[in-house]
């Protein structure tokens, strides 16, 4: 319990420091000005989201292999946290884009792929609600989760290739657009902060799932009497 509180406190601290750094330490970007600072939050959250989906994939594989409920708990926790991250990315993206480029949305490669990723994990979570029996739910959602994760690189490559056929404005600076060294440091610190926050949220969600499982077990015991 105390470890969780410490993790939460560290997460919040890091996030606050990262935000401060984004505004007061990072230099102002030449072309976009103030609004570019959203990048530190937006891109760091995207990286954290991708990491949590990878954790989800590992949890799914481990469940199919070992069949221990804890991997199912980890799977659903990381999927939900990942979805929260991607939701933040999909919301902060347009908020950044609109003042700068005048449009809320464009079907550019990264945005489109991120949106498909979001849909895949929504489907994963919806699937879980539609299967009642816990072991079956764990197995089938783990298998779908594995297929979904294998699909992710295919989604990114196919959409990027598609966009080279029909170029669109590249929003939010292409990858590797060369960051100034201070900007890089602030960015990587933000990445760290978001990863710690994601880890904290996964732990909290995991504890809830574990408790749910305990509750169901006890409820069945009571019923049996």
User: What six digits make up the tokens of 85?
Assistant: 């991250």
Q: Which of 3, 102, 154, 167 binds other proteins (CB under 8 A)?
A: 154
How many DSSP H helices and E strands does the chain contain? 6, 0
DSSP symbol at 32: T
For residue 175, give the 3-state DSSP assignment. coil
Spatial distance between the Cα atoms of 160 and 93, rounded to a whole number of angstroms? 18
Region from 51-59, 76-84, 167-175, 179-187 binding other proteins, contact rule CB under 8 A: 76-84
Q: Quick one: how far is CA 110 from the chain centroid? A: 14
Residue 58 sits in the site that holds other proteins (CB under 8 A): no
CB 116 within 8 A of CB 108: no
Residue 2 sits in the site that holds other proteins (CB under 8 A): no
Residue 127 sits in the site that holds other proteins (CB under 8 A): yes
Q: Which of 139, 170, 179, 192 binds other proteins (CB under 8 A)?
A: 139
Residue 15 sits in the site that holds other proteins (CB under 8 A): yes
CB 48 within 8 A of CB 195: yes
DSSP symbol at 22: I
CB of 86 vs other proteins, minimal distance in Å: 10
Nearer to other proteins, 103 or 147 (CB): 147
Find, among 106, 151, 105, the residue nearest to 124 by Cα. 151
Spatial distance between the Cα atoms of 130 and 172, rounded to a whole number of angstroms? 37
Residue 192 sits in the site that holds other proteins (CB under 8 A): no
Interface ranges with other proteins (CB under 8 A): 15, 19, 33-35, 37-38, 41-42, 45, 64, 80-81, 84, 87-88, 91-92, 95-96, 98-100, 116, 119-120, 123, 126-127, 130-132, 136, 139-140, 143-144, 146-148, 150-151, 154-155, 157-159, 161-162, 165, 197, 201, 204-205, 207-208, 211-212, 214-215, 218-219, 221-222, 225
């Amino acid at each position: 319990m105390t470890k969780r509180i410490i993790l939460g406190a560290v997460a919040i601290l890091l996030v606050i420091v990262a935000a401060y750094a984004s505004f007061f330490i990072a230099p102002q970007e030449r072309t976009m000005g103030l609004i570019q600072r959203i990048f530190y939050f937006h891109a760091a959250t995207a990286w954290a989201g991708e990491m949590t989906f990878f954790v989800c994939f590992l949890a799914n594989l481990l469940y199919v292999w070992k069949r221990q409920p804890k991997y199912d708990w980890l799977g659903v926790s990381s999927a939900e946290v990942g979805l929260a991250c991607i939701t933040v990315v999909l919301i902060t993206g347009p908020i950044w884009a609109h003042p700068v480029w005048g449009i809320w949305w464009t079907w550019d490669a990264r945005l489109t792929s991120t949106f498909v990723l979001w849909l895949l994990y929504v489907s994963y979570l919806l699937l879980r609600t539609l299967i009642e029996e816990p072991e079956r739910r764990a197995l089938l959602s783990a298998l779908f989760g594995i297929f979904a994760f294998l699909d992710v690189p295919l989604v990114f490559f196919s959409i990027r290739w598609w966009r080279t056929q029909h170029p669109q404005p590249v929003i939010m600076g292409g990858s590797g657009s060369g960051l100034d060294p201070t900007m890089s440091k602030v960015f990587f610190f933000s990445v760290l902060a978001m990863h710690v926050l994601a880890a904290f949220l996964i732990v909290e969600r995991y504890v809830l799932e574990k408790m749910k499982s305990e509750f169901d077990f006890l409820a069945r015991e009571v019923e049996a009497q």
